[in-house]
């Protein structure tokens, strides 16, 4: 009897989770199935309108995609840009999380409210505000830099040059993403026993060494979560690039995979190629996530 009760109890949590899992399965698995199915078909505007029958192409869409030099270039740019966004977001978020533990209650509250305000701002609104701040005619940033003696920024168009446009988008992404890292890491720091940090300080360790040798190892499970979440968010960024570079920049110089997929699917009506790009993005994110988790498990970390 005890064995039967133990077996039944093992399935009890899954019974409670079943309704939510069914809903999530319908919302996630079915769209992924449709995305994968369309990527194997000949599916353009002619098929959508019923003018031509839908035909099965197998891997032909993927072969066409990887033979496209622009796709390979956009893929490389997306990887580098996402890595830069993740690194900057983690650096800013972790630094401010540590700062929160050093300041008094009122400055801490003000910083938290300001950060949460940035986090709650819709991506379209935040992108529009940053475009105004760096506007070559009316933006206060160019005026302030010119006033400081940097005359080269007088009327400088940040979105015209490829690298300055990517830098501007990166700043906006970090601005709206760091609060998640800051709040999560701050909660983890508060859970570290105070005597551990006090002992490290008494031993003469600097703030950097305390973070590197004490805090970071103890916060590794939390840092894993925020890193994976940041990778997913930044790799599939769309709104900021589309709004701030007007659809991918001059001659597509600021394209990322999500914007490129949008152009293929909706601007060119090549829905099968757009779906293939989506599948490639999904597989890359799954590979990065699984690989990172396996690496941590080899190091003996519990996730």
Look at 247 and 194; give whichever has higher pLDDT: 247
E-strand ranges in 1-73 read: 41-42, 55-56
For residue 20, what pLDDT is reported? 86
Name the nearest CA neighbour of 178 among 221, 118, 105, 136. Answer: 118
Phi-psi region of 126 (alpha: psi -120 to 50; beta: other; left: phi over 0): alpha
State the average pLDDT for the chain. 88
Phi-psi region of 248 (alpha: psi -120 to 50; beta: other; left: phi over 0): left
Q: What are 22-32's pLDDT values in tens digits?
A: 888 888 888 89
Worst-scoring range by mean pLDDT, 44-48, 169-173, 284-288? 44-48
Q: What are 112-123's pLDDT values in tens digits?
A: 999 989 999 999
Span 98-123, mean pLDDT? 91
Confidence of residue 244 (pLDDT cuts 50, 70, 90): very high
Q: What are 260-269's pLDDT values in tens digits?
A: 999 999 888 8
CA distance 123 to 134: 17
Axis crossing angle, helix 271-298 with helix 60-67, rounded to the nearest 10:
80
> What radius of gyration, in Å, describes the C-alpha atoms of the chain?
24
CA-CA-CA-CA torsion sign (97, 102, 105, 106)? negative
Q: What are 203-234's pLDDT values in tens digits?
A: 777 888 888 888 888 898 899 889 999 999 99
Confidence of residue 164 (pLDDT cuts 50, 70, 90): very high
Answer whether 275's CB lies under 8 Å from 39's CB. yes
């Amino acid at each position: 009897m005890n064995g039967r009760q133990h077996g039944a109890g093992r399935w009890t949590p899954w019974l409670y989770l079943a309704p939510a899992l069914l809903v999530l399965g319908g919302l996630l698995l079915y769209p992924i199935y449709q995305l994968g199915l369309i990527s194997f078909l000949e599916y353009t505007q002619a098929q959508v309108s019923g003018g031509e029958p839908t035909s099965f192409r197998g891997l032909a869409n993927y072969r066409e995609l990887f033979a496209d030099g622009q796709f390979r270039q956009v893929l490389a740019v997306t990887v580098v840009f996402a890595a830069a966004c993740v690194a900057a977001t983690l650096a800013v978020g972790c630094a401010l999380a540590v700062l929160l533990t050093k300041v008094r209650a009122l400055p801490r509250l003000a910083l938290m409210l300001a950060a949460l305000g940035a986090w709650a701002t819709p991506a379209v609104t935040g992108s529009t505000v940053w475009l105004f701040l760096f506007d070559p005619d009316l933006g206060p940033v160019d005026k302030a830099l010119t006033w400081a003696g940097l005359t080269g920024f007088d009327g400088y168009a940040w979105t015209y040059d490829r690298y300055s446009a990517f830098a501007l988008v990166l700043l906006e992404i970090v601005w709206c993403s760091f609060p998640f890292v800051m709040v999560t890491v701050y909660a983890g720091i508060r859970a570290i026993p105070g005597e551990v940090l006090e002992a490290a300080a008494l031993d003469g360790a600097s703030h950097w060494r305390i973070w590197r040798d004490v805090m970071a190892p103890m916060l590794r499970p939390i840092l894993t979560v925020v890193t994976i979440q940041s990778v997913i968010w930044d790799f599939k960024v769309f709104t900021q690039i589309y709004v701030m570079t007007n659809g991918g920049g001059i001659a597509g110089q600021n394209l990322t995979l999500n914007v490129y997929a949008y152009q293929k699917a909706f601007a060119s009506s090549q829905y099968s190629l757009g779906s293939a790009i989506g599948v490639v993005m999904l597989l890359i994110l799954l590979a990065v996530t699984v690989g990172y988790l396996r690496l941590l498990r080899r190091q003996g970390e519990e996730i």
